[in-house]
Amino acid sequence: MDKHIVAEDLREEVAFWKTVEDDALLRGREIDFNIYLFAAQNRRECRDKLLKVWDEIALDKFRNGRLNEKQPTGVGAGELVTCKTNLIKDSLSAFGGKSNAS
């Protein structure tokens, strides 16, 4: 099942249990307090499931973005190439050779 659909269903369920909690608190009797506790527990479970699904969606997007990245970006992305070029230039110049690497 699509994770976005699961997330939408869980959001609706969290909203439902929040409504049940609010209604039970407005009534204020002992039996309603038990309903409130039951609804609060279910809402927390749904919220935890929702956070887990959102984490999975974000991780999937990160992995897909990383796989689609053709060239490294960010600070130090070209550092390895620069180090290799400098090593070659320094090695050749130490022995009197010329390098066409610039």
Q: For residue 45, what pLDDT is reported?
A: 94
20 domain residue, yes or no: yes
C-alpha distances in angstroms, 59 versus 15, 52, 53, 55, 71?
25, 10, 10, 6, 20
pTM: predicted TM-score of the whole model, two decimal places: 0.56
Q: DSSP characters for 16-63?
A: HHHHHHHHHHHH-SHHHHHHHHHHHHHHHHHHHHHHHHHHHHHHHHHH
69 domain residue, yes or no: yes
Full residue range of the structural domain in which residue 35 is found: 3-94
Window from 1-15, 25-39, 80-94 with minimum mean pLDDT: 80-94
Confidence bin at 15 (pLDDT 50/70/90)? very high
99 domain residue, yes or no: no
61 domain residue, yes or no: yes
75 domain residue, yes or no: yes
Q: 47: Cβ–Cβ under 8 A, 6 or more apart, which residues?
A: 10, 14
Total domains present in the chain? 1
18 domain residue, yes or no: yes
